[in-house]
Amino acid sequence: MANDRLNPIRSASAPAYKPGPHWVAVVAAVFTWPLIFVGGSVTTYRVGMAVPDWPTTFGINMFLYDFWNAPFGVRVEHTHRLYGAAVGFTTLILAIWFLAAEPRRSMKWLGVLALVTVIGQGVLGGTRVTQNSTVLAAVHGVTAQAFFALMVSLCVLTGRDWITSTTPTVDSSHLRRRSAVTLFLVAAQIAVGAWLRHFPWMASASLLTHALLGFAVWGHAAMLAWRVERNRGALPELVPSARAMALVVMLQVVLGVASWWMLRPFDGIPRTVTILQAMVRTGHQANGALLLATSVVLTFRAYRHLTPAHKAPGWSSQSAPGLEVVA
């Protein structure tokens, strides 16, 4: 337990698996993902300032405001606020559950961190409104994805697969490092995507950066999934998340190309957004969150189930049966 308090990512002696905290984390993470789409819709329709005050809505308690009869932009923004509050309440339940039922001190603290993070995210979103700041809007979009990644990590850390992990396999293909690099690239791509969505008048530079970085993400994700697939017999714990990442990254490329086609000619002039455009562009952002999530799961599992080759006593490429060495 002492090792667990120092390092929640790799515990030397984990307690018995408890389904309660795990399923609370899963429900909270699943409930959080649609908020990425709802928040993205606010940016897509350019209605972030449709409600000019916060925490009230036109001077009325946000939970009592009748937004069904309001203009479209107000409905979109107010739905974003209400759903955000619901996610905050869900995270509060998660934090309380972790404090009461999770035996690991590190996980109790991570539950509290999730609660503090979602509160900070709400305040950041409100400050974006009161300051009418596009920069804060972009930061708010990025931190939303970071919060979702945190919720997904709680699912992994409370799962049976994590707690009942067996002896690690030798990482002869450097999958730990490659998965971490892929995760970093996905996170960087999300930041560049926020830049592109919130500052369309800078589209020339941001679009080129987004495209080049997207190619790097696709290449790393595809290669990583291929390496895991080739070693699936020795790495069964990594296969589901690797396959999911491969599917999500392929869909992300399709949505990205479709978004690029719909956004032409990139002159920074606001135009009417059709429902199809909104679904594709916002779907591209929300699917990016799924790509981030699968990268988080794969990276965590790689670090849990694999050990660096140089740390394995007496290891050589000939002494690692079932794990193919791929340069």
Phi and psi at residue 320, to the nearest 5°: -120, 75
Of 321 and 178, more confident: 178
For 70-80, what is each residue's pLDDT tens digit? 999 999 999 99
**Cα angle vertex 25, ends 24, 27, to 5°?**
65
From 46-50, 84-88, 155-159, 267-271, the region with the lowest mean pLDDT: 267-271
pTM for the full model? 0.88
pLDDT at 314: 53
User: DSSP states of 31-42 as a string?
Assistant: HHHHHHHHHHHH
pLDDT at 93: 98
Picking from 248, 242, 244, the residue whose alpha carbon sits closest to that of residue 287 is 248
> 20-35 pLDDT, tens per residue?
999 999 999 999 999 9
pLDDT higher than threshold 50 for residue 272: yes
With residue 307 as reference, give the H or E element that holds it. Answer: strand 306-308
pLDDT for position 261: 87
**Least confident interval from 85-89, 171-175, 218-222:** 171-175
Q: What's the pLDDT score for residue 196?
A: 86
Domains in the chain: boundaries? 12-164, 167-314
With 50 as the cut, is the pLDDT of residue 10 above it?
A: no
- Say how far apart CA 311 and CA 5 lie, in whole Å: 23
Q: What is the pLDDT of residue 209?
A: 87
List, for residues 238-268, the tens digit of each pLDDT value: 999 999 999 999 999 999 999 888 877 666 6
Q: Which residue has the higher pLDDT, 307 or 321?
A: 307
Is residue 193's pLDDT more than 50? Answer: yes
How confident is the model over 291-319, as a mean pLDDT?
78
Alpha-carbon distance 94 to 97, whole Å? Answer: 5
* CA proximity to 103, closest of 170, 194, 11: 11
Class of domain 167-314: mainly alpha
* Angle between helical axes of 175-198 and 134-157 (0-180°, round to 10): 150
Please check the confidence at residue 116 and state whether its pLDDT lies above 90: yes
Predicted confidence at residue 263, as pLDDT, reads 75
Residue 326 or residue 187, greater confidence: 187
Question: Smallest Cα–Cα separation from 138: which of 39, 271, 261, 220?
Answer: 39
Residue 94 identity (one-letter amino acid): L
Distances in whole angstroms, Cα of residue 120 to Cα of each of 95, 97, 230, 232, 237 = 15, 20, 42, 40, 34
The mean of the pLDDT values for the chain is 87
**Residues 207-241: tens digit of each pLDDT:** 888 889 999 999 999 999 999 998 888 888 899 99
Q: Residue 273 phi/psi, 5° resolution?
A: -100, 120
Give the mean model confidence (pLDDT) for residues 114-125. 97
Q: Containing H/E element for 183?
A: helix 175-198
